[in-house]
Amino acid sequence: MSTSFSRIVQGCMGWGSWGHNLSASEMAKRIEFCASNGVTSFDHADIYGDYSTEETFGTALTESGVARERIQLISKCGIQYVGNARNNPIKHYQYDADYIIWSAERSIQLLQAEYLDLFLLHRPSPLLQPEEVVKAIETLLDSGKIRAFGVSNFTPSQTRLISKYVPVSVNQIEFSITNFKPMLEGDLDMMISKDITPMAWSPLGSVFKEDSEQTKRIHEVLEPLCKTYEATKDQLLLAWILAHPAGIHPVVGTATEERIAQAVASEKIQLEETDWFELWVASQGHKVP
């Protein structure tokens, strides 16, 4: 069963205790606002909020009154996080079939959903055994507990390895104007050729987090473009990603209604090709070859 995701995906990592620490009622309002403004896909991982954010979101989803079929729920598994919720002696990865199935079922229960629209392996493990993954994913797909399977932060070779055993529909990677390696190292090319949907976490990169020579150059280019396109800087950075032919879905981490609405509006911005390259040149610090 194929699943369509909204072009802007709402990242929920910062909605819980790892960020804005929203209450269930506050999350319910954000869910309603997102769904009413075309952001219908919500990105989770089991570890967010030290394994607590999914549960609050599940309560919020019920409180919101937004019908389950109106939205798409994404979650991830595999990272064994060192925190208060689990007695892990060291951060590591776990991908045996029983654990993958248990983790998916736990996320479904906490999110108060009958199924996940997309289930991802959070990060690649050197000890990952493809046979274990396929055993778990086939069980979850056959039972209807997940509707699609994907990976997160996998390289092209790692993705090809998994896709040899089970179809990969999505790879969620870090990609932005300041972290464009996937555009040069074959990640996006491979996803286009294999019909894999890219999702980009941290889509604004370091532009607003660091005061470096790179970010200064980017801001210098963005300022006049804001006037040209009547847009904010973050909208232009999202539009830069949206222009790529791979059909990337930015995963935005905002928790404010204003920023959510701005992200949605970025879908309407059509950057001129020369403006797209001007931003990329500013990020690289040199002209294209």
Q: Known catalytic residues?
A: 48
Tell me the backbone φ, ψ of residue 43, rounded to 5 degrees: -100, 125
Closest CA to 154 of 136, 166, 138, 143: 166
- What is the rounded CA–CA span in Å between residue 288 and residue 70? 43
Buried b (16+ CB within 10 A) or exposed e, 222-240: beebeeebebbbbbbbbbb
Tell me, what DSSP letter sits at residue 196?
P
Distance between CA atoms of residues 152 and 201, nearest Å: 10
Q: Are 14 and 255 in contact, with CB atoms under 8 Å apart?
A: yes
Question: CB neighbours (10 Å) of residue 153?
Answer: 16
Q: Which of 110, 99, 55 is nearest to 77 (CA)?
A: 99
Q: Which two tokens stand for residue 42?
A: 């919500």
Helical axes 130-142 vs 97-110, angle rounded to 10° = 40
Longest dimension (CA), the chain: 54
What Cα–Cα distance (Å) separates residue 185 from each residue in 110, 125, 181?
37, 20, 6
